[in-house]
């Protein structure tokens, strides 16, 4: 999600004794992530039993939530909530980028839109992995973070459209050819599987489980990160803000202990559910 | 004592003596009659056998309840009409076995050719019950009264006893939980099929015998004796025609409905089990059905609404799509799909319920959609898995290296 203009955010607060904290995500962005991962886990948990309906665990899971009728009901419910969240996001982008002509929504370091630097960063990063070059310096959104964003964006359009086409098949048949009704199931299930495998393995590791963030990156829950972390993970953004004298405007308060603990519990549950579904998916896929 | 007084005393003495003689004679006569006379009425035998506790030397009961016997189907007969070797009293300890066939010759010869021919194991009484309390089969006390037949056959054809001894399948529990069993035991429907409705009674043959009503090609006729309309439909359909031509691979009633555990077809259990039954022959159709929404949804327990084979193809009068009467004929598809999908139109019914995404010739569009999606999935994951594993190794390497330097958490 495009970042809010730093000027529009809260004034800086006093330095916490344990070091300075900087705001990365707004409250709305954190809520959006919470809605996204809750509905995503729900959709994966209710979609996988349908995709692998021959597996024993699929039948067990279906029985546990009250049979197939209940599973389909919850799948549709999560889908509707996610659709609303997606539309709200589109509305925000449209308002800020097109109506209010806010700068930096579609281009620049604060935008989610890809740039040539992302391609350069990717190759530089790969070279660094194998020891052929220095570690690239990232700005506010690194290339894999932008990929995550667009993967979800594309996924919601593709999975959403194919899902609604199945839900309201006779209606969609007014303007879709007959074979498309067959294709939407293939598209829905393959794209859904890709999203599940990607989020529960790549996104989990890239964002949360990699050594720099292990066991989870709290910034998406608390909205703030320490100065040290900020400098190391996003040096270009830090330097840019320092150069422009805007660093102070991004200062935030350290998250209260209850929020950190709450986030840890929620995050752990999400990761455990995700990894469980990943294992079940892989066993069903290869059996 | 006055002589006049002696007369009445003599008379009294004479009377007493006379009475004693008459008694003696009567007793002797009775004894004589019992000892040497021909046994004529049931009461003669019941004088002894009416005692409920009477047993033979082996301890088996040889008592007869006269009241029940006299109301039974044989109640008007004399004992030695059946126990023909007993003519007088006392009779020998060992008496001959009663031969039912002396009267019931037809039944006996039928039984002789049947699976129950081994008379030692299957004397008439196994099914008809105690010989002295046999009732007409229309009498609810009869062991072969329609509502009692399953329990009677079930004495052997159930888990216990003979079933195990002879390796016979346990039929009774299957039957009694079936739609026929329910109609009979719960509703008390006399017309509900019981064992002998399908198997016959005395001349029961193995289902491998072409004469048997349960031989494969005879089954439609056997079931059709009650389900006449369904039999007509079936015989007009593809399966019926194939069986009539002698194709023993084609299914008859029992292949889809089973023989004994027959379920109400609208029941969810039957809807869940029916598809694999069709698929046991139509393997390619089952595998393409498995890939569709109908199957994926329908396989999960508790949800039975999605289309099963016969929701579209019909159940008994199954006709090829080319037949204008077939529910899957092009002209009928809107109506057939519309049973579930309100608002189905001509374009909607172009949906392929048996599309094969792996068959380029049959479903080219679907084939390429699947190919694209598979490549997208495999490509994305392959790239990122390699990317992320390399990253993990490098990040951990740096972390350990830096830790030695300054002990910091972040690389």
How far is Cα B84 from Cα B107, in angstroms, rounded to an integer? 20
Is-above-0.90 flag for pTM?
Answer: no
As a residue count, chain A comes to 287
Instruction: Tell me what percent of chain B is helix, strand and coil, each rounded to the nearest 5.
Output: 50, 0, 45
Question: A27-51 and A67-94 are packed helices; what angle lies between their axes, rounded to 10 degrees?
Answer: 150
> Which are the contacts of B390, defined by CB distance < 8 A and separation ≥ 6?
A126, A129, A130
Q: Is the peptide bond before B311 cis (omega within 30 degrees of 0)?
A: no
- Per-residue confidence (pLDDT) for residue B378, from 0 to 100: 95
Contacts of B390 in chain A (CB under 8 A): 126, 129-130
- Per-residue confidence (pLDDT) for residue B55, from 0 to 100: 86
The yes-or-no verdict on residue B411 having pLDDT over 50 is no
**Closest Cα to residue B348, out of A165, A183, A166, A177?**
A177
Quickly state the pLDDT bin for A65 (edges 50, 70, 90): confident
Contacts of A186 in chain B (CB under 8 A): 357, 366, 369-370, 373
Put simply, whether B340 touches A (Cβ < 8 Å) is no
Put simply, whether B352 touches A (Cβ < 8 Å) is yes
Give the minimum alpha-carbon distance from A250 to chain B in angstroms, rounded to a whole number: 22
DSSP 3-state assignment of A210? Answer: coil
Contacts of A233 in chain B (CB under 8 A): 410
- Per-residue confidence (pLDDT) for residue B375, from 0 to 100: 96
With an 8 Å Cβ cutoff, are B366 and A179 in contact? yes
Select the residue from A119, A127, A186 to test the B interface by mutation, using most B Cβ atoms within 10 A.
A186
Put simply, whether A282 touches B (Cβ < 8 Å) is no
Phi, psi of A207, rounded to the nearest 5 degrees = -95, -40
Output the furthest CA–CA distance in chain A (Å, rounded). 66
Query: For residue B92, what is the DSSP state?
Result: P
Put simply, whether A197 touches B (Cβ < 8 Å) is yes
Select the residue from B275, B308, B347, B403 to test the A interface by mutation, using most A Cβ atoms within 10 A.
B347
Please name the residue of chain B whose CA is at the shortest distance from the CA of residue A182. Answer: B351
Please name the residue of chain B whose CA is at the shortest distance from the CA of residue A207. Answer: B388
Put simply, whether B299 touches A (Cβ < 8 Å) is yes
Element (H, E) at A225: strand A224-226
Residue-wise pLDDT for B92-136, tens only, equals 888 888 888 889 999 888 888 888 887 666 678 888 988 888 999
As a whole number, mean pLDDT of residues B183-191 equals: 92
The yes-or-no verdict on residue B75 having pLDDT over 60 is yes
With an 8 Å Cβ cutoff, are B300 and A71 in contact? yes
The yes-or-no verdict on residue B384 having pLDDT over 90 is yes
As a whole number, mean pLDDT of residues B139-155 equals: 91
Which strands form A21-23's sheet, in the order they lie side by side?
A224-226, A21-23, A251-252
Please name the residue of chain A whose CA is at the shortest distance from the CA of residue B334. Answer: A170
Q: Is the peptide bond before A215 cis (omega within 30 degrees of 0)?
A: yes
How far is Cα A177 from Cα A189, in angstroms, rounded to an integer? 19
Q: Please report the residues numbered 129 through 188 in chain A whose beta carbons come closer than 8 angstroms to any beta carbon of chain B.
A: 129-131, 144, 151, 166, 169-171, 173-174, 176-183, 185-187
Contacts of A166 in chain B (CB under 8 A): 293
With an 8 Å Cβ cutoff, are A179 and B376 in contact? no
With an 8 Å Cβ cutoff, are A170 and B349 in contact? no
Residue with structure tokens 């603990």?
A261
The yes-or-no verdict on residue B362 having pLDDT over 70 is yes
Phi, psi of A252, rounded to the nearest 5 degrees = -135, 180
Put simply, whether A211 touches B (Cβ < 8 Å) is yes
Question: Do B132 and B68 meet the contact criterion of CB atoms below 8 Å apart?
Answer: yes
Q: What is the dihedral of CA B208, B210, B215, B217, to 10 degrees?
A: 130
Contacts of B392 in chain A (CB under 8 A): 205, 210-211
A·B CB contacts under 8 A: 161
Question: Do B343 and A171 meet the contact criterion of CB atoms below 8 Å apart?
Answer: yes
How far is Cα B307 from Cα B278, in angstroms, rounded to an integer? 13
Q: Please report the residues numbered 353 through 372 in chain B whose beta carbons come closer than 8 angstroms to any beta carbon of chain A.
A: 355, 357, 363, 365-366, 369-370
With an 8 Å Cβ cutoff, are B299 and A194 in contact? no
Contacts of A173 in chain B (CB under 8 A): 344-345, 347-348, 351
Q: Where are the domains of chain B?
A: 106-202, 205-262, 284-355, 361-411
Quickly state the pLDDT bin for A90 (edges 50, 70, 90): very high
Facing residue for B348 by CB, picked from A59, A62, A169:
A169
Contacts of B342 in chain A (CB under 8 A): 170
Question: Do A230 and A238 meet the contact criterion of CB atoms below 8 Å apart?
Answer: yes
Contacts of A170 in chain B (CB under 8 A): 341-345, 348
Q: Which of A73-82, A222-231, A257-266, B33-42 has the lowest mean pLDDT?
A: B33-42
Give the minimum alpha-carbon distance from A39 to chain B in angstroms, rounded to a whole number: 21
With an 8 Å Cβ cutoff, are A62 and B292 in contact? no
- In the predicted model, what is the mean pLDDT of chain A? 89
With an 8 Å Cβ cutoff, are A228 and B381 in contact? no
B152 against B8, higher pLDDT: B152
As a whole number, mean pLDDT of residues A133-142 equals: 94
Bridge partner list, B38: B88
With an 8 Å Cβ cutoff, are B345 and A69 in contact? no
The yes-or-no verdict on residue B90 having pLDDT over 70 is yes
With an 8 Å Cβ cutoff, are B299 and A176 in contact? no
Contacts of B347 in chain A (CB under 8 A): 173-174, 176-178
- Per-residue confidence (pLDDT) for residue B291, from 0 to 100: 86
Question: Do B312 and B305 meet the contact criterion of CB atoms below 8 Å apart?
Answer: no
The yes-or-no verdict on residue A25 having pLDDT over 80 is yes
The yes-or-no verdict on residue A37 having pLDDT over 90 is yes
Put simply, whether A210 touches B (Cβ < 8 Å) is yes
Question: Do A191 and A272 meet the contact criterion of CB atoms below 8 Å apart?
Answer: no
As a whole number, mean pLDDT of residues A130-159 equals: 94
Facing residue for A229 by CB, picked from B390, B392, B410:
B410
B106 against B167, higher pLDDT: B106
- Per-residue confidence (pLDDT) for residue B385, from 0 to 100: 95
Quickly state the pLDDT bin for B6 (edges 50, 70, 90): low
Facing residue for B302 by CB, picked from A63, A125, A198:
A63
The yes-or-no verdict on residue A8 having pLDDT over 50 is no
Q: Please report the residues numbered 240 through 279 in chain A whose beta carbons come closer than 8 angstroms to any beta carbon of chain B.
A: none
Quickly state the pLDDT bin for B274 (edges 50, 70, 90): confident
The yes-or-no verdict on residue B87 having pLDDT over 90 is no
With an 8 Å Cβ cutoff, are A201 and B385 in contact? yes
Contacts of A63 in chain B (CB under 8 A): 301-302
Facing residue for A173 by CB, picked from B302, B342, B345:
B345
How far is Cα B114 from Cα A35, in angstroms, rounded to an integer? 73
Select the residue from B290, B308, B348 to test the A interface by mutation, using most A Cβ atoms within 10 A.
B348
Q: Please report the residues numbered 11 through 40 in chain A whose beta carbons come closer than 8 angstroms to any beta carbon of chain B.
A: none
With an 8 Å Cβ cutoff, are B348 and A173 in contact? yes
- Per-residue confidence (pLDDT) for residue A13, from 0 to 100: 44
């Amino acid at each position: 999600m495009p970042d809010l203009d730093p000027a529009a955010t809260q004034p800086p607060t006093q330095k916490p004794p344990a070091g300075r904290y900087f705001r990365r995500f707004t409250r709305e962005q954190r809520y959006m992530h919470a809605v996204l991962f809750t509905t995503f886990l729900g959709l994966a948990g209710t979609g996988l039993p349908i995709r692998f309906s021959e597996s024993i665990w699929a039948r067990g899971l279906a029985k546990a939530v009250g049979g197939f009728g209940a599973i389909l009901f919850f799948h549709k419910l999560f889908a509707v909530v996610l659709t609303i969240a997606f539309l709200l996001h589109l509305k925000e982008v449209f308002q800020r980028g097109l109506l209010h002509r806010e700068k930096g929504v579609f281009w620049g370091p604060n935008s989610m839109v890809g740039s040539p630097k992302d391609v350069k960063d990717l190759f530089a990063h790969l070279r660094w992995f194998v020891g052929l070059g220095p570690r690239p310096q990232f700005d506010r959104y690194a290339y894999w973070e932008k990929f995550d964003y667009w993967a979800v964006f594309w996924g919601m359009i593709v999975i959403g459209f194919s899902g609604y086409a199945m839900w309201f098949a006779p209606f969609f048949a007014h303007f879709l050819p007959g074979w498309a009704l067959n294709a939407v199931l293939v598209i829905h299930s393959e794209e859904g599987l890709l999203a599940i495998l990607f989020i529960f393995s790549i996104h989990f590791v890239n964002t949360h489980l990699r050594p720099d963030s292990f066991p989870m990156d709290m910034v998406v829950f608390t909205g703030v990160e320490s100065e040290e972390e900020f400098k190391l993970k996003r040096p270009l953004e830090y330097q840019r803000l320092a150069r422009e004298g805007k660093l102070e405007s991004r200062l935030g308060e350290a998250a209260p202990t209850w929020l950190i603990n709450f986030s840890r519990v929620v995050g752990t549950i999400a990761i455990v559910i995700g990894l469980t579904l990943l294992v079940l998916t892989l066993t069903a896929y290869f059996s | 004592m006055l002589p006049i007084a002696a007369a009445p005393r003599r008379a009294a003495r004479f009377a007493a003596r006379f009475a004693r003689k008459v008694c003696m004679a009567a007793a002797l006569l009775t004894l004589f009659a019992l000892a040497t006379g021909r046994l004529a009425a049931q009461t003669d035998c019941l004088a002894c056998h009416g005692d409920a506790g009477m047993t033979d030397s082996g301890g088996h009961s040889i008592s007869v309840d006269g009241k029940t016997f006299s109301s039974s189907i044989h109640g008007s007969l004399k004992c030695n009409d059946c126990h023909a070797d007993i003519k007088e009293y006392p009779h020998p300890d060992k008496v001959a076995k009663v031969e039912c066939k002396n009267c019931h010759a037809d039944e006996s010869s039928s039984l002789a050719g049947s699976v129950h021919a081994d008379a030692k194991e299957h004397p008439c009484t196994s099914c008809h019950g105690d010989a002295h309390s046999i009732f007409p089969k229309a009498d609810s006390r009869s062991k072969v009264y329609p509502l009692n037949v399953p329990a009677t056959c079930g004495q052997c054809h159930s888990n216990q006893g003979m079933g195990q001894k002879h390796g016979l399948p346990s039929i009774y529990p299957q039957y009694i939980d079936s739609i026929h069993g329910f109609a009979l035991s719960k509703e008390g429907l006399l017309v509900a099929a019981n064992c002998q409705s399908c198997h016959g009674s005395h001349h029961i043959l193995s289902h491998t015998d072409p004469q048997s009503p349960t031989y494969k090609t005879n089954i439609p006729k056997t079931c059709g004796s009650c389900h006449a309309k369904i039999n007509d439909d079936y015989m007009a359909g593809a399966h019926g025609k194939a069986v009539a031509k002698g194709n023993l691979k084609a299914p008859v009633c029992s292949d889809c409905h089973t023989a004994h555990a027959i379920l109400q077809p609208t029941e969810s259990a039957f809807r869940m089990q029916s598809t694999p039954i069709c698929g046991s022959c139509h393997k390619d159709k089952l595998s393409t059905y498995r890939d569709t929404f109908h199957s994926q949804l329908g396989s999960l327990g508790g949800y039975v609404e999605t289309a099963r084979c016969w929701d579209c193809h019909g159940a008994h009068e199954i006709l090829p799509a080319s037949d204008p009467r077939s529910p899957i004929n092009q002209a009928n598809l809107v109506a057939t799909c519309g049973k579930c999908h309100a608002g189905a139109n001509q374009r909607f019914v172009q949906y392929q319920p048996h599309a094969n995404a792996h068959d380029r010739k049959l479903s080219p569009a679907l084939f390429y959609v699947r190919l694209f999606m598979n490549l997208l999935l495999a490509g994305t994951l392959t790239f990122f898995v390699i990317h992320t594993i390399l990253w993990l190794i490098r990040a951990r390497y740096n972390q350990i290296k830096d830790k030695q330097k300054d002990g910091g958490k972040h690389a």
